[in-house]
A and B are shown apart, each in its own frame.
Chain A
């Protein structure tokens, strides 16, 4: 029986058994995004799900860790990776045109006003919808996937996780 062999080659092994290579691993690798694109993406995510007294926000949830993995993962469609990156590039170019500074340098109010206008273009709204779908994955998936830190998003919506939960596995021991 070659069960061990196949399970390590299966997608399931990637998703459920490996702990997605752990947060430490993820944070030590970068996606194809530039530092500027990553910084802007993080700010977009926080705009989508901002922090308040009850909720840590996208940054506090560690959503960027998840996005770094998604943008590296072989199972993420290449066209979606490119769409995410191209949208970030349009965002930055628009911000420079309208505000004469990078998106991440805008104040919170400036970001909100700019973004409202940015989304009026259908292409940009479609891009934002895609990013939001991955942000929901980052926020509401099991923390083994490196987002949803301390299960804070689950607590926010009073979610009861199913069991058994996907296993935690220390990347360094693999």
Chain B
């Protein structure tokens, strides 16, 4: 087998990988990044709904690479179905930069108490809530580093849930804001709430060899054509490549990590673009291919010292998988009820709303006992994707609409109102029915067992989501919205995943040590969201970036280098 040599081998190229590549190549180490998917750049990212949302352009075909999803029946049994059959796609961007290319870019920090959820809020029955082995203070310098290097725009304002900060403000001012932000502010304040400017990983102007935002209005799900969005590719990998020490190898599917008699990893075996099996040897290996696939790769990587997979000697690997609980809702602002000026304002496309509510990040309500962990609310307009929205309008009262009735509905929906949405992000309580294993029958196109994912949620999370949704509906009513509705479901959002390799001090209950090194494997680290014992109530990407920079410093120390210093 043809074998290559490097010093740092990273599997995956998304948010967990970029900081390692950036920091270790800056330190002078030879870095290889193995990415399963192709390498797209800004020139390839068109606003093209067919390519982005209707076909598997940035993700594998489900006929070639599938997951097996287990859902609970009413009688308590679990039923498995291949995603090829269900069409429920759990891939989120298999290309250089990973799913960070396609994120919306809400960048909220976790709160100090998110690091000690169990101590702060107590146990939840039938949930495996655990404190993190590190504190907010350990992560804070890296949040600040990410804000600078990835480029976070926003405005810090004082509010009851503001996290302690080592910097006064974000390094970039907010992106342009839509007029409705003012309306949200006014109405929320009248309700006694604290609307806050939502920080985003989007550059408002050109900086760091990247363009500024062009305000096309298609952030979520779409790759950024200017480089303004802080994807791992645009913000970190390109910089790592410029050091001359980092090589990104697209179309390289890692099949197995090979370990030696001591249990340390010595090589990664991967299929290249020509489907030839190759091997790369390194001093340090870092796995960051998103929670499900990271657990899958480690489960596949059996060895003499790791008969059940790397990091699985205590049977913890793949356990306590997390998604984001909560849901979404919204309301219509009907043009017929508004003045010409208000309609003209509402029709503006491009600028961001950039508003969030953290008023229910902690719930103080007798129905939740003394206090309970709540969540974050983000406001956004409905995504401009036209085909997907039209397709949802074709049914009415269980009957298919067609002809003039359909046209009339389309016309009214698209030209008679603007739909404002909200999203609730809550903790997904880790539990024994949410985990990754290997399917014994279904294989991918390389003949490797597919990941089997049990998708058990906790009823407590639904209760929290519904509580917050009810509060947000009051905000929409105050704003004068019509057709207000909410959908809080136990179904996991496939784009917000973490856990499976939780970190902790005790090898019996965790996969990684506090430095995100696999217990008893000196040279193997995991730096995507897999490390999280609990996920917090914000989108994960910001914390994944920050933690990855933290782990990069641990690796630098292990290799005799000073921590990354950015002037």
- The answer to whether A165 touches B400 (Cβ under 8 A) is no
In this complex, how many residues of chain B approach chain A with their Cβ under 8 Å: the count is 46
Please, how many angstroms separate the alpha-carbon atoms of A3 and B273 in the complex? 12
Chain B residue numbers with a CB within 8 Å of A2 are 273
* A10 pairs with B38, CB closer than 8 A: yes
Contact B46 A164 (CB under 8 A): yes
Measured between alpha carbons, how far is A48 from B407 in the docked complex, in Å? 9
Q: B207 — which chain A residues lie within 8 A by C-beta?
A: none
Cross-chain contact A12 with B349 (CB below 8 angstroms): no
Interface stretch, picked from A21-29, A86-94, A98-106, A153-161, is: A153-161
Indicate if B344 sits at the interface (CB-CB under 8 A). Answer: no
Given contact pairs A3-B39, A16-B46, A157-B386, A162 touches B218 in the complex (Cβ within 8 A): yes
Q: Does B214 contact A (CB under 8 A)?
A: yes
Judge whether A50 and B403 touch: CB under 8 Å: yes
Known: A6-B39, A112-B403. A15 touches B55 (CB 8 A): yes
Tell me the number of A-to-B contacts counted with CB atoms below 8 Å.
127
User: A12-B40, A157-B411 are contacts. A48–B47 as well, Cβ < 8 Å?
Assistant: no
A145 within 8 A of B: yes
Q: How far is the CA of A7 from the CA of B37 in the complex (A)?
A: 11
Contacts of A142 in B (CB 8 A): 48-50
Please choose the segment from B2-10, B56-64, B135-143, B489-497 that sits at the chain A interface, where 4 or more of its residues have CB less than 8 A away: B56-64
A22 to B: closest C-beta gap in Å: 15
Shortest CB–CB separation between residue A138 and chain B, in angstroms? 9
Quick one: which of A1-15 are within 8 Å of B by CB? 2-3, 6-7, 10-12, 15
* Docked-complex contact B410 and A137, CB < 8 angstroms: no
Is B394 in contact with A162, judged by CB distance below 8 angstroms?
A: no
Interface residue A47 (Cβ < 8 Å from any Cβ of B): yes
Main secondary structure on B side of the interface with A: loop
A162 to B51, Cβ gap below 8 A? no
In Å, the complex CA distance between A61 and B53 comes to 21
B404 within 8 A of A: yes
- Contact assessment for A137 and B50 in the assembled complex, using a CB-CB cutoff below 8 Å: yes
In the complex, whether A72 has a CB less than 8 A from a CB of chain B is: no
Q: CA A152 – CA B362 in complex, angstroms?
A: 49
Q: With A and B bound together, what is the CA distance between A140 and B389 in angstroms? A: 10
In the complex formed, the residue of A with least CB distance to B51 is A15
The answer to whether B55 and A132 have CB atoms under 8 Å apart is no
- Whether B46 and A132, one on each chain, are in contact in the complex, defined by CB atoms closer than 8 angstroms, is no
How many chain A residues touch B (CB < 8 A): the figure is 46
Interface flag for A141 (CB, 8 Å): yes
Query: Interface code B387-417, partner A: CB below 8 Å = 1, 0 otherwise?
Result: 1001100110000101110110011001100
A128 at the interface (CB under 8 A from B): yes
In the assembled complex, the CB of B75 is this many whole angstroms from the nearest CB of chain A, namely: 26
User: Shortest distance in angstroms between A8's beta carbon and chain B's nearest beta carbon?
Assistant: 11
A sample of 18 more A-B contacts (CB under 8 A), given A47-B402, A164-B225, is: A6-B38, A7-B40, A11-B55, A12-B57, A15-B51, A15-B57, A49-B407, A50-B404, A52-B404, A55-B407, A132-B394, A159-B384, A160-B349, A162-B384, A163-B216, A166-B46, A166-B48, A167-B46
The residues of A with any CB-CB pair to B shorter than 8 Å are 2-3, 6-7, 10-12, 15-17, 47-50, 52, 55, 75, 77, 112, 115, 119, 125, 128-129, 132-133, 136-137, 139-142, 145, 154, 156-167
B residues in contact (CB < 8 Å) with A: 38-41, 44-51, 54-58, 61, 63, 214, 216-218, 222, 225, 250-251, 273, 349, 384, 386-387, 390-391, 394-395, 400, 402-404, 406-407, 410-411, 414-415
Return 11 A-B CB contacts under 8 Å, by A number: A2-B273, A6-B251, A7-B38, A7-B40, A16-B46, A52-B407, A75-B56, A132-B394, A136-B391, A162-B218, A166-B51
Q: Give the 9 A-B residue pairs with the shortest CB-CB distance, closest first.
A: A162-B47, A157-B414, A15-B51, A162-B218, A166-B46, A140-B386, A166-B48, A136-B390, A162-B216
